[in-house]
DNA sequence: GTCATTGTAACA
DNA sequence: GTTACAATGACT
């Protein structure tokens, strides 16, 4: 018998092996095996059992060992792996590594990273000789001499465009030393695992909840693939609906996966789940990235053997090897934490939907602020919508007010940081001893230029993105194409003289607050002041204890935290992130606001949200033109990290590192097809072009540009509607399709 | 001609 | 990822 094996040894190719007689019985598709590669034993996964090799049989070697007596991946997980491989254009190997925990792969080398450093400084003579004889080695040596720390080997190789042979030669020469570090994830003390398990009688359902439970229950009974989007306002008892659905599945003998965005941030949910299921005698596996090797192995085997039938966990729990999967719950489906930010760059929610499809299971997505793409899928009939409009505690929804800052500017004259409405609200809160949060959604970019009177933003004539103001030389630059011009003295649109750069930092807001509330205790939280980690926690606990009246900060404030005494949330400058063509950032900001405010409010009084903007009702279509496509922006993100690229340049880089022009072209065309399929529109491919970024040999590098209609500017209005659970029709027309060709 | 350096392809 | 080998170039 011959099997096809994907080795986990650093390259992506299916290799064939012979199976010796005594291993026949235990080898299956999905089995982990040890195979000889270049005469060394390596771990691999059987993708094809009983196939024909494409090389002569006499060249085949034998499988050395079958590592477990059960397959590491079930057929549906194998199918999922293959889909991810194509859909996310990730190497099969990295997909498998993401799916199978290292503890299970046992014997696989612990994840190693190789670092390089200078062993001793090169003498001047030596350097001259090197430059002449081995120029590549000289480059590496010079580069290393400039570094303060050890450099990752793989990074250096791709940065300098040299091969491993060069480094090997240097090491042999004794100039460079190579150090191997084992990357060990440090498990932090988590306060929830093991700890208190909440038990209690299940609460009674209200009529709305009952209707949703029935709706989901119907899909579960049918046993066919279905996706439900549960749109329930904050505090409407979504969790209870999830619990009932899981209970139904367990009662019928099936298994369920319950995903939460970040386990560490949702300890209550986890303990509530465990309380309910374990009281009923169902072992519940908790799965997240901070587990120790042992715990991980235990959880995995419990699920694979069918001993446990429920798993609660973050992103990667979607790969749990459960038997007879009937239900996948994705709580807070809009959360960006579901996105993996290293390869394979998958989206936990989308993988959940696809896995449910493969398994013929029900997928239940839930959120108070569903993502636009999920809503689009409801509109197109792919998902079924269930709603919960009432809070279980009968508290009212937060009141969202949008302030037109252009009017404020006219009234107050000059630079306005805080509108009068916001100031009044803050003062009232201070007098009542209640707390306020001010959001500043500043991102790490320089400012754009915006007219204080009409809200005009100067755009690049070629690229239709906001130009960036550079104070040093008084110019506007386009980060996309490099177009540059002097900054105008008056507004190009309405000729008002008061066009100025905007960069509303936390400091400026702090000053403004101090002016209107001199006696308030206030604290600022941003990346500048938060260099020390414990300070972050400190401030949060002080805030919770009521020692701070006003908290000013960026998104980091909102991280899944409850502040019961906060009754006012202000978004100081809604436009700031608007000109960054990363719609996710905008959407996220507003979702945070609604959620923080949704939990706020004392007694029966609801919290309030004030959004300050210069463009309260911007034309959605106009702004949609320069919007962004998220699915593949994942790739772009990697590029940005490496090369500090502006966010809107979608340069697919990591696929093109190779130097074979045919291969590169193939990949480029592959991407174009994927993107076109997803967008349903043509995509422009430019290339091959030399890269402007690095002095790497870049004759063959393609740039793929794609723009997709997506609401950017319309968000303030949209979020207000979202909070009221209304969805304007025109918004869905300008959505992108994030969950693209899923079905 | 030899030897070192470097790039490339293959790993069954 | 690692290794074997082929291509290139420097030097005697």
Distances (CA, A) of A714 to A276, A443, A504: 42, 19, 21
pLDDT at position A449 is: 67
pLDDT at position A85 is: 81
pLDDT at position A622 is: 30
Residue A243 neighbours by CB distance under 10 Å: 22
Domain A207-392 fold is: Rossmann fold (3.40.50)
The answer, yes or no, to whether the previous bond of A688 is cis (omega within 30 of 0) is yes
What percentage of chain A exceeds 90 in pLDDT? 28
Q: Which two tokens stand for residue A604?
A: 């029966």
pLDDT at position A430 is: 93
Which CATH superfamily hosts domain A650-737?
Ribosomal protein S10 (3.30.70.600)
Q: Which two tokens stand for residue A730?
A: 């025109």
Q: Identify which has the larger pLDDT, A662 or A24.
A: A24
Residue range A548-556: mean pLDDT, rounded? 81
Q: CA at A563, C1' at C12: how many angstroms apart?
A: 81
Q: CA at A643, C1' at C6: how many angstroms apart?
A: 34
Q: Identify which has the larger pLDDT, A20 or A562.
A: A20
Listed range (A4-8, A231-235, A619-623, A689-693) with the worst mean pLDDT = A619-623
DSSP states of A388-420:
E-S-TT-PPPPEEEEEEHHHHHHHH-S--SS-H
Q: Identify which has the larger pLDDT, A420 or A646.
A: A420
- Nucleotide with C1' nearest the A659 CA: B8
Q: CA at A91, C1' at B10: how many angstroms apart?
A: 17
pLDDT at position A518 is: 93
* E strand residue ranges, A495-626: 499-501, 522-525, 550-553, 566-571, 608-613
pLDDT at position A642 is: 24
pLDDT at position A164 is: 81
- Nucleotide with C1' nearest the A658 CA: B8
Q: Identify which has the larger pLDDT, A258 or A165.
A: A258
Distances (CA, A) of A614 to A352, A416, A451, A510: 39, 11, 9, 21
Give the C-alpha separation, A234 to A216, whole Å: 20
Residue A142 neighbours by CB distance under 10 Å: 14
Q: Which two tokens stand for residue A445?
A: 């970019």
Listed range (A14-18, A55-59, A204-208, A507-511) with the worst mean pLDDT = A507-511
Q: Which two tokens stand for residue A555?
A: 């998104």
Give residue numbers, 110 to 139 of A, with CB < 7 Å from strand B.
133-137
- Nucleotide with C1' nearest the A38 CA: B11
Residue A526, Cβ density class (10 Å: 0-12 exposed, 13-18 middle, ≥19 buried): middle
Residue range A415-432: mean pLDDT, rounded? 89
Q: Residue A734: is its pLDDT beyond 50? A: no
- Is domain A399-444+504-639 annotated with CATH 3.40.50.720? no
Give the C-alpha separation, A356 to A526, whole Å: 40
Give the C-alpha separation, A27 to A22, whole Å: 10
Residue range A149-165: mean pLDDT, rounded? 76
Residue A637 — pLDDT band, cuts 50, 70, 90? Answer: very low
- Does the CB of A172 fall within 7 Å of any strand C atom? no
pLDDT at position A111 is: 55
Instruction: Indicate if A207-392 has the same CATH topology as A2-100.
Output: no
Q: What are the extents of the domains in chain A?
A: 2-100, 112-182, 207-392, 399-444+504-639, 447-502, 650-737
Q: Residue A473: is its pLDDT beyond 60? A: yes
pLDDT at position A489 is: 77
pLDDT at position A698 is: 36
pLDDT at position A567 is: 86
Residue A65 neighbours by CB distance under 10 Å: 13
- Nucleotide with C1' nearest the A54 CA: B12
- Does the CB of A155 fall within 7 Å of any strand C atom? no
DSSP states of A10-69:
S----EEEE--GGGGGG--TT-EEEEEETTEEEEEEEEESS---SS-GGG-EE--EE--S
Query: Which residues of A contribute to the annotated binding site for Zn(2+)?
Result: 451, 454, 460, 463, 478, 481, 491, 494
Give the C-alpha separation, A185 to A182, whole Å: 9
Cα four-point dihedral sign A343, A349, A355, A357: negative
Q: Residue A735: is its pLDDT beyond 60? A: no
pLDDT at position A429 is: 92
Q: Residue A397: is its pLDDT beyond 80? A: no
- Nucleotide with C1' nearest the A137 CA: B5
Q: CA at A88, C1' at B5: how many angstroms apart?
A: 38
Q: Which CATH number is associated with domain A2-100?
A: 3.40.1440.60
A583-611, pLDDT tens digit by residue?
A: 455 556 666 666 666 666 666 666 788 87
pLDDT at position A726 is: 56
Residue with the two structure tokens 């009044």: A424
Q: Identify which has the larger pLDDT, A440 or A631.
A: A440
Residue range A61-82: mean pLDDT, rounded? 93
Q: Residue A689: is its pLDDT beyond 50? A: no
Give the C-alpha separation, A640 to A131, whole Å: 32
Q: Residue A366: is its pLDDT beyond 90? A: yes
Q: Would you say A225 and A360 are in contact if contact means Cβ atoms under 8 Å apart?
A: yes
Residue A578 DSSP class = G
Of all helices (H) and strands (E), which one includes residue A170?
Answer: helix A164-173
Q: Would you say A62 and A18 are in contact if contact means Cβ atoms under 8 Å apart?
A: yes
Q: Residue A191: is its pLDDT beyond 80? A: no
Listed range (A68-82, A542-556, A573-587) with the worst mean pLDDT = A573-587
Residue range A20-25: mean pLDDT, rounded? 94
Query: Which residues of A contribute to the annotated binding site?
Result: 451, 454, 460, 463, 478, 481, 491, 494
Listed range (A332-336, A415-419, A532-536, A681-685) with the worst mean pLDDT = A681-685
Listed in sequence order, the residues at least 6 apart from A476 whose beta carbon sits closer than 8 Å to its beta carbon are A449, A458, A467, A468, A469, A470, A484, A485, A486, A487
Q: Would you say A539 and A513 are in contact if contact means Cβ atoms under 8 Å apart?
A: no
Nucleotides of chain C within 7 Å of a protein C-beta? 1-5, 10-11
Q: CA at A68, C1' at C5: how many angstroms apart?
A: 37
Give the C-alpha separation, A621 to A609, whole Å: 26
Q: Which two tokens stand for residue A143?
A: 């580069």
Q: Which two tokens stand for residue A60?
A: 């085949």
Residue A389 — pLDDT band, cuts 50, 70, 90? Answer: confident
Residue range A491-507: mean pLDDT, rounded? 67
Tell me which residue of A522, A528, A530 sits closest to A552, measured CA to CA: A522
Listed range (A103-112, A343-352, A657-666, A734-743) with the worst mean pLDDT = A734-743
What percentage of chain A exceeds 70 in pLDDT? 64
Q: CA at A60, C1' at B1: how many angstroms apart?
A: 40
- Does the CB of A129 fall within 7 Å of any strand C atom? no
- Highest-scoring range by mean pLDDT, A159-163, A548-552, A572-576: A548-552
* E strand residue ranges, A249-391: 255-259, 284-287, 310-313, 325-331, 362-367, 384-388
Nucleotides of chain B within 7 Å of a protein C-beta? 4-12
pLDDT at position A724 is: 58
Listed range (A264-278, A415-429, A706-720) with the worst mean pLDDT = A706-720
Mean pLDDT (chain A, rounded): 73
Q: Identify which has the larger pLDDT, A669 or A90.
A: A90
Q: Residue A467: is its pLDDT beyond 60? A: yes
């Amino acid at each position: 018998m011959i099997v096809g094996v994907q080795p986990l040894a650093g390259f992506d190719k299916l290799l064939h092996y012979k199976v010796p007689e005594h291993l026949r019985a235990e080898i299956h598709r999905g089995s982990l095996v040890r195979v000889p590669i270049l005469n060394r034993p390596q771990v691999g996964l059987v993708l094809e059992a009983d196939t024909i090799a494409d090389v002569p049989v006499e060249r085949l070697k034998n499988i050395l060992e079958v590592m477990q007596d059960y397959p590491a991946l079930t057929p549906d997980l194998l199918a999922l792996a293959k889909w991810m491989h194509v859909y996310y254009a990730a190497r099969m190997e990295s997909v498998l590594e993401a799916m199978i925990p290292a503890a299970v792969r046992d014997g696989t080398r612990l994840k190693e990273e190789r670092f390089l450093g200078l062993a001793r400084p090169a003498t001047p003579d030596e350097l001259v000789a090197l430059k002449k004889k081995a120029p590549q080695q000289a480059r590496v040596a010079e580069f290393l001499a400039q570094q303060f720390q050890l450099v990752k080997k793989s990074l250096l190789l791709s940065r300098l465009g040299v091969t491993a042979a060069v480094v090997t030669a240097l090491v042999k020469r004794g100039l460079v030393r190579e150090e191997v570090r084992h990357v060990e994830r440090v498990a932090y003390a988590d306060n929830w695992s093991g700890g208190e398990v909440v038990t209690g009688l299940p609460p009674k359902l209200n009529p709305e909840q009952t209707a949703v439970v029935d709706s989901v229950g119907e899909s579960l009974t049918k046993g066919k693939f279905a996706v439900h989007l549960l749109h329930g306002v904050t505090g409407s008892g979504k969790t209870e609906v999830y619990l009932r659905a899981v209970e139904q599945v367990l009662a019928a003998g099936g298994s369920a996966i319950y995903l939460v965005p970040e386990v560490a941030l949702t300890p209550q949910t986890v303990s509530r789940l465990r309380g309910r299921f374990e009281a009923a005698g169902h072992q519940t596996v908790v799965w997240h990235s901070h587990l120790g090797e042992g715990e991980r192995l235990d959880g995995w085997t419990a699920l694979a053997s069918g001993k446990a039938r429920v798993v609660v966990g973050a992103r990667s729990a979607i790969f749990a090897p459960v038997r007879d999967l009937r239900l996948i719950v994705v709580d807070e489906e809009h959360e960006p934490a579901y996105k993996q930010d290293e390869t394979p760059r998958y989206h936990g929610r989308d993988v959940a939907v696809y896995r449910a499809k493969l398994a013929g299971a029900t997928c239940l997505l839930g959120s108070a602020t569903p993502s636009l793409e999920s809503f689009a899928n409801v509109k197109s009939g792919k998902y079924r919508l269930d709603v919960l409009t009432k809070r279980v505690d009968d508290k009212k929804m937060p009141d969202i007010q949008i302030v037109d800052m252009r009017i404020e500017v006219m009234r107050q004259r000059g630079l306005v940081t805080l509108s009068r409405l916001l100031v009044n609200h803050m003062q009232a809160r201070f007098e009542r001893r209640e707390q306020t949060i001010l959001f500043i959604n500043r991102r790490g970019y320089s400012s754009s230029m915006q007219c204080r009177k009409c809200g005009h933003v100067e755009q690049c004539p070629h690229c239709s993105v906001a130009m960036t103001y550079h104070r040093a030389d008084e110019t506007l630059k386009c980060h996309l194409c490099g177009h540059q011009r002097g900054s105008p003295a008056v507004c190009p649109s309405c000729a008002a003289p008061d066009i100025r750069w905007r960069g509303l930092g936390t400091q400026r807001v702090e000053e403004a607050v101090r002016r209107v509330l001199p006696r308030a205790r206030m604290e600022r939280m941003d990346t500048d002041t938060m260099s020390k980690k414990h300070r972050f926690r400190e401030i949060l606990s002080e805030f919770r204890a009521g020692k701070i009246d006003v908290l000013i900060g960026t998104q980091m404030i909102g991280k899944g935290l409850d502040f019961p005494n906060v009754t006012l949330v202000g978004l100081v400058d809604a436009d700031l992130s608007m000109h960054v063509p990363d719609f996710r950032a905008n959407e996220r900001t507003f979702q945070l606001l609604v959620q923080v405010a949704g939990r706020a409010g004392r007694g029966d009084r609801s919290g309030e949200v004030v959004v300050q903007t210069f463009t309260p009702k911007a034309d959605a279509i106009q702004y949609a033109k320069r919007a962004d496509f998220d699915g593949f922006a994942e790739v772009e993100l990697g590029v940005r990290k490496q090369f500090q690229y502006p966010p809107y340049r979608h340069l697919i880089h990591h696929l093109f590192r190779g130097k074979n022009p045919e291969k590169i072209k193939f990949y480029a065309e592959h991407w174009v097809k994927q993107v076109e399929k997803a967008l349903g529109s043509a995509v422009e491919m430019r290339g091959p072009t030399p890269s402007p970024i690095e002095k790497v040999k870049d004759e063959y590098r393609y740039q793929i540009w794609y723009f997709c209609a997506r609401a950017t500017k319309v968000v303030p209005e949209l979020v207000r509607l979202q909070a009221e659970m209304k969805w304007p029709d025109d918004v869905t027309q300008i959505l992108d399709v994030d969950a693209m060709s899923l079905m």
